[in-house]
């Protein structure tokens, strides 16, 4: 009976040593990978190529393929009354608009 206990302790000790050594080795490999160094010789993974710069989105490039350095859209807040008056002025100035006697508000009220 004492031999089985001794064998159990011996097997448990060997497995614990293997597990701890594997943990330490994996921590060293992870540390090297995070620093960008070459992988260790005992690593299973192939060497990764050097990192490239990220490719910008195509909408951020001009016709020559260079990055656009100007704002693509500028929005500003306007009071709703100013926006309505500008839209009314555009509608009245359009060829299909019937002039100053009818506005979009009048058309909505008629419907």
Tell whether 12 is covered by a domain.
Answer: yes
pLDDT value for 84: 92
**DSSP-derived secondary structure letter, 59:** G
Angle value at C-alpha 105, between 103 and 110, nearest 5 degrees = 100
The answer as to whether 41 is a domain residue is yes
User: Tokens representing 12?
Assistant: 């448990």
Residue 90 lies in a domain: no
Domain span holding position 45? 2-53
| pLDDT tens, residue by residue, 59-96 | 888 888 888 888 777 777 888 999 899 999 999 998 87
Residue 99 within a domain? no
Q: Please, how many CA atoms are within 13 Å of residue 82, restricted to the half-sphere of its CB? A: 4
Cα 91 from Cα 103, distance rounded (Å) = 7
Q: What is the pLDDT of residue 54?
A: 79
- In this structure, is residue 100 part of a structural domain? no
Residue 11 lies in a domain: yes
Residue 54 CA neighbour count, 13 Å, CB half = 3
pLDDT of residue 103: 52
40 close to 28: Cβ distance less than 8 angstroms: yes
Can you give the pLDDT at residue 60? 83
| pLDDT for residue 111 | 41
Split into its structural domains, the chain has a count of 1
Residue 66 resides in a domain: no
Q: Is residue 76 part of a domain?
A: no
């Amino acid at each position: 009976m004492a031999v089985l206990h001794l064998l159990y302790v011996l097997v448990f000790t060997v497995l614990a040593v293997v597990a701890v050594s594997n943990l330490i080795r994996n921590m060293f490999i992870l540390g090297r990978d995070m620093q960008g160094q070459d992988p260790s010789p005992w690593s299973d993974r192939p060497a990764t190529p050097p990192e490239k710069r990220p490719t910008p989105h195509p909408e951020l490039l001009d016709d020559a393929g260079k990055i656009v350095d100007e704002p693509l859209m500028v929005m500003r807040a306007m009071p709703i009354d100013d926006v309505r008056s500008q839209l009314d002025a555009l509608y009245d100035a359009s060829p299909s608009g019937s002039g100053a006697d009818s506005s979009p508000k009048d058309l909505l009220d008629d419907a």
